A = this chain, B = another copy of it.
Amino acid sequence: MVENFGRRLQERIRATGPLCVGVDPSAQLLDAWGRPDSVEGVEFMALSILEAATGAAAAIKPQVAYFERFGSAGYRVLERLITEARDADVMVIADVKRGDIGATNDAYAAAWLEESSPLCCDALTVSPYTGVGALAPFFSRCVQGRGVFVLAATSNDEGRALQRARTDADEALEDLVLRSVAELNEAHDALGPFGVVLGATRERPRFDLAALHGPYLVPGVGAQGGTPEQVGRLFERCREGTVLVNVARNIAIAGPERPALRDAVARWRDNLTIFL
Contacts and interface: CB of A to CB of B under 8 A. Distances in A.
A166 to B, nearest CB: 6
Interface string A121-144: 000000111111110000000000
A66 B107 contact: yes
A72 B69 contact: no
Contacts of A129: 97, 99, 127-129, 151, 154, 159, 162-163
Given A26-B107, A65-B107, A75-B75, A158 B173 contact: no
Contacts of A232: none
A167 B162 contact: yes
Contacts of A95: 100
A73 B118 CA distance: 9
Contacts of A131: 154, 156-163
A247 B95 CA distance: 30
Contacts of A70: 117-118
Most chain-B CB neighbours within 10 Å: which of A76, A100, A160? A100
Given A129-B154, A154-B101, A167-B165, A68 B159 contact: no
Interface string A12-23: 000000000000
Given A75-B75, A117-B69, A130 B111 contact: no
A145 B218 CA distance: 38
Contacts of A158: 101-102, 130-134
A104 B173 contact: no
Given A63-B104, A98-B97, A156-B101, A69 B130 contact: no
Contacts of A166: 165-166
Nearest to A177: B162
Interface of A: 24, 26, 63, 65-66, 68-73, 75-76, 78-79, 95, 97-105, 107-108, 110-111, 117-119, 127-134, 151, 154-168, 173, 176
